[in-house]
Amino acid sequence: MSGGLLSAWRLWDQVYYHCTRLQYVDRENENLFRVVIKPYHGPTLTTSDGEVLQEGDWYAKLHLHNCLLAHILRRHRGDDVQMALRVLTEVRQSLPALARFIADHPRSDQIRVLMGTTFLHRGSQHLGFDVTDVPGSWYAAYKTWFFKFILSNCHPEGWKRLKTGNSPLIPKRVYISKARLLRRYLDGEGP
């Protein structure tokens, strides 16, 4: 990604951030997560450790800070495997601060699950997350298009990466119960 495009993306990201209810988990330490705490609207979801998320329950919607991730990947260029390992490392390092943020949040007692949608789902099960398909065909199609746009701007090969990648780029829903997140990343059980 060129410096000019990254600068334009940073500007757009500022606008996006101010138009949503996103909260930084730990901006000063380049944490990859931003979250919105909100009521859930969707089909009942059950985590592998038995937490049930139903319509109206509170959850943390996870957003990767893609602009920051693009900046990090620009500093640590490499092949696809090296870049995937860099992303996994950055996410793993961001999880303890995410756990602290959730534990200290005013709605912590009401939050049941943390959930996001991402192309970057490989390896997430090793971090304690469950992975499923994104429900709804129009939403999945929109997310696929949007994430391909983001990837084309994050990856050093740009749009070329979308044509030459080995595996299909399909976004998945990743989620983890609040209890499991806190147990693994706040109470020291670790990944």
At residue 1, the pLDDT reads: 44
* 77-123: pLDDT as tens digits: 666 666 667 778 888 999 999 999 999 999 999 999 999 988 777 77
Residue 31 lies in a domain: yes
Q: How far apart are CA 169 and CA 148, in angstroms?
A: 8
pLDDT at 6 over 70: no
At residue 149, the pLDDT reads: 64
CA neighbor of 131 nearest in space, from 91, 64, 176: 176
Q: Which domain holds residue 104?
A: 3-169
Residue 189 lies in a domain: no
Residue 175 lies in a domain: no
Residue 176 lies in a domain: no
Number of structural domains in the chain? 1
Q: Kindly indicate the confidence band of residue 145, based on its pLDDT and cuts at 50, 70 and 90.
A: low
* 171-183: pLDDT as tens digits: 889 999 999 999 9
At residue 134, the pLDDT reads: 81
CB-based contacts of 151, cutoff 8 Å, min separation 6: 119, 161, 162, 169
Residue 138 lies in a domain: yes
Indicate the burial class of 98 (C-beta count within 10 angstroms; 0-12, 13-18, 19 or more): buried
Residue 9 lies in a domain: yes
pTM equals 0.76
Residue 181 lies in a domain: no
Residue 178 lies in a domain: no
